[in-house]
Amino acid sequence: PNIVVLISGNGSNLQALIDACANHTLPARITHVISNRKSAYGLVRASTASIPTTYHNLVPYKKSHPNSIPTAREQYDTDLASLILSLPAFQKPALIVCAGWMHILTPAFLTPIAEAGIKVINLHPALPGEFAGAEAIKRAWEAGRRGEIKRTGVMVHEVIAEVDAGECVVSREVELREGESLEGLEGRMHEVEHGLIVEGTRRVLEGLGK
């Protein structure tokens, strides 16, 4: 089955998906990669793997709705959905994977996508119900230093309108280590992410078949 991947940055999780498809540990094909940031290195990773890419730019929408960001974002999301729904049949996805995608998807996107029978999942570097939103790894690391938590983790969840709150597909705990640097924790978390993004995608695709 086809998947479309949404990215905003480095794309190390996209790379994990590209590699898993290439070595056939994931029975899927990435047919398109979309970024909301022009400078996202993940766009280079996609092109290197001969995957079509699109940069979906928020700026024109902010310019056309200077006094109303919510309207700009609504229009942006509507157009993002139609971009995906108008892909040629051989690129049309069964699943959309948000991998390092730093943009809150609104019902303007989620509703038409759901109506088309396409699932959306997101990788979030925290456990269900914890550290929703940005900089989750840093916030967990700081909570660890304050002795508030002993572990954090990573999850792949279904995307609904509420941020990082959809039904969990798969999650994995990551122990916090006394005195470890933030970079050290980030490195270990990204390792877990790269495995979980593939595992989460596999489970959802298997579920679609049934």
Determine the interface stretch with ligand GRF among 5-13, 26-34, 46-54, 71-79 (rule: CB under 6 A). Answer: 5-13
Binding marks (x or -) toward ligand GRF, 59..98, rule CB under 6 A? Answer: ----------------------------------------
Q: Confirm or reject binding of residue 36 to ligand GRF (CB under 6 A).
A: no
Q: 13, 36, 75, 201: which one contacts ligand GRF (CB under 6 A)?
A: 13
State which amino acid sits at residue 141. W
Question: DSSP characters for the chain?
Answer: -EEEEEESS--HHHHHHHHHHHTTSS--EEEEEEES-TT-HHHHHHHHTT--EEE--SHHHHHHSTT-HHHHHHHHHHHHHHHHHTS-GGG--SEEEESS--SPPPHHHHHHHHHTT-EEEEEESS-TTSS-SS-HHHHHHHHHHTTS-SEEEEEEEE--SSTT-SPEEEEEEEE--TT--HHHHHHHHHHHHHHHHHHHHHHHHHHHH-
Q: Confirm or reject binding of residue 20 to ligand GRF (CB under 6 A).
A: no
118/155 with CB nearer ligand GRF: 155
Contacting residues for 165 by C-beta, under 8 A, at least 6 apart: 129, 132, 157
Q: Which of 32, 124, 157, 194 is catalytic?
A: 124
85/158 with CB nearer ligand GRF: 158
Q: 17, 33, 99, 204: which one contacts ligand GRF (CB under 6 A)?
A: 99
Q: 2, 3, 6, 9: which one contacts ligand GRF (CB under 6 A)?
A: 9
Determine the interface stretch with ligand GRF among 2-10, 77-85, 88-96, 164-172 (rule: CB under 6 A). Answer: 2-10
13/31 with CB nearer ligand GRF: 13
Whether residue 103 lies in the annotated active site: no
What does the binding site for ligand GRF look like in residue numbers (CB under 6 A)?
7, 9-14, 42, 99-100, 123, 125, 193
